Amino acid sequence: MSFLVLESIKKSFGQTQVVKDFNMSIEKGEFVSFLGPSGCGKTTVLRMIAGFESPSDGAISINGRNQNALKTNQRNIGMVFQAYALFPNMNVFDNVAFGLKVAGKSKTEIETRVKEMLTLIGLDHLADRYPYQMSGGQQQRVALARALAPKPQVLLLDEPLSALDAKIRVSLREEIREIQRRLGITTVFVTHDQEEALSISDRVVVMNAGRADQIGTPSEIYNRPTTRFVASFVGTLNIIEATVVDPAANTVKVGENTIRLRESIGALKGGDKLSIALRPEAGSLLENAKGDTSLTGQVISSHFLGSVIRTKLDVGGNQISFDMFNSPDAVLPQPGETLTLRFNAHDFLIIRD
């Protein structure tokens, strides 16, 4: 049985339903990210796990125990907030010790555990500092230590990196993942940053309008999005309008190019419109590039972006962006030039709404 189970969770505020029939099972020690735009309900689900909000319907259970009737302070959950939420009147030691003191642990136990936690986050030399004397990254690490100190059964991370600058964000997310792996703690991470979610999660839940649009490993989410929303929200994607030529042979037409898809389109008939998608990094302009399919079109624009060259191609009225790695010999395609983009047919994704 899964460790954390969310069963048919619904949540309404007045007339507005913000979470609609949300189902999810998380295994012990798993790191799951809720990814979605603002207002998609990801934080509301997290707050319901924490007990700050009660579900309008459905059940939340941790380790087989229903949590619905339990108050926040009875759930034994750790949480790290976006705004750090360290107690300004307490120093680092007292902040980390807070949960242990509340739990009535002995002085020796508290001292040992706090030291252990501060060593874990590498801030044992700052035990006497107050929050205002520390940087954002340091404060958030203290918040993580505080959340972990009472040995919670689940760790919730509510956009913990969004208030930090880019460099710290990358190093801290790796540190969080490393600590999570070491402690084996079941973790739910809420973010709107796809790179964050894809880089550190075992599984990602892409949420849209109160529902989980897709649940899968980062690779599945990126390479095999199952809905138009997931495809457009995660990474950059070219959505191409194609016309079905022969459903039995899975062939479609894009401009003057006929393509054979790997996925079956047998349910459609000739002349039907179909949305297919292609990642910008999937194609290549090289003559000898591997690939069983090609698209020919005119260059609209081409930009040098440092490590990559991004070119926009017009193929039968569709604008297709593709990236190629920069090399000293690379020549920038010129607008109006005719180019052939080569790729594998399985790189195409059929978009279902």
Partner 1 sequence: MKAHKIFAWLAIAIGAIYFFIPLIGTFEFSLRMRRGAYSFDAYQSVFTDAQFRATFGFSMLMALVTIVVGMLLIVPTAYWVRLRLPQMRPVVEFITLLPLVIPAIVIVFGYLRLYNSSSWIPFTGSTQGTNVLLTFSYVTLALPYMYRSVDTAMRTIDVRTLTEAAEILGAKWPTIMFRCIFPNVMSGVLSGAFITFAIVMGEFTMAALLNRPAFGPYLQLVGANKAYEPSALAVIAFAITWLSMGLIQLVSRFGKLSPSRP
Q: Which residues bind partner 1 (CB under 8 A)?
A: 50-52, 72-79, 81, 83-90, 98-99, 102-103, 130-132, 136, 139, 146-147, 150, 163
Q: Supply the minimum distance, in Å, between the C-beta of residue 262 and partner 1.
A: 48
Q: Supply the minimum distance, in Å, between the C-beta of residue 33 and partner 1.
A: 20
The smaller minimum CB distance to partner 1, of residues 89 and 106, is found at 89
The smaller minimum CB distance to partner 1, of residues 185 and 204, is found at 185
The smaller minimum CB distance to partner 1, of residues 161 and 234, is found at 161
Burial class (CB in 10 A: 0-12, 13-18, 19+), 311: buried
The smaller minimum CB distance to partner 1, of residues 22 and 98, is found at 98
Q: Supply the minimum distance, in Å, between the C-beta of residue 156 and partner 1.
A: 8
CA 94/CA 346 separation, integer angstroms: 56
The smaller minimum CB distance to partner 1, of residues 90 and 308, is found at 90
Q: Supply the minimum distance, in Å, between the C-beta of residue 239 and partner 1.
A: 39
Q: Supply the minimum distance, in Å, between the C-beta of residue 40 and partner 1.
A: 21
- Pseudo-torsion of CA 56, 34, 221, 253, nearest 10°? 60
Q: Quote the tokens at residue 98.
A: 């807070």
- Phi first, then psi, for residue 153 (nearest 5°) are -80, -25
CA 222/CA 172 separation, integer angstroms: 23
Q: Would the CA dihedral through 294, 296, 300, 305 be positive or negative?
A: positive
Q: Supply the minimum distance, in Å, between the C-beta of residue 61 and partner 1.
A: 18
First to last CA, the chain: 32
* SS3 at position 7: strand
The smaller minimum CB distance to partner 1, of residues 77 and 276, is found at 77
The smaller minimum CB distance to partner 1, of residues 38 and 327, is found at 38
Nearest C-alpha neighbor of 73 from the set 106, 29, 42, 103: 103
Q: Supply the minimum distance, in Å, between the C-beta of residue 128 and partner 1.
A: 13
Pairing of strands 16-26, 349-350: unpaired
List strands edge to edge, sheet with 186-191: 77-80, 154-158, 186-191, 31-35, 203-208, 211-216
Pairing of strands 154-158, 186-191: parallel
Q: Supply the minimum distance, in Å, between the C-beta of residue 76 and partner 1.
A: 8
* SS3 at position 238: strand
The smaller minimum CB distance to partner 1, of residues 16 and 288, is found at 16
Question: Tokens 């649009």 belong to which residue?
Answer: 213
Question: Tokens 């600590």 belong to which residue?
Answer: 179
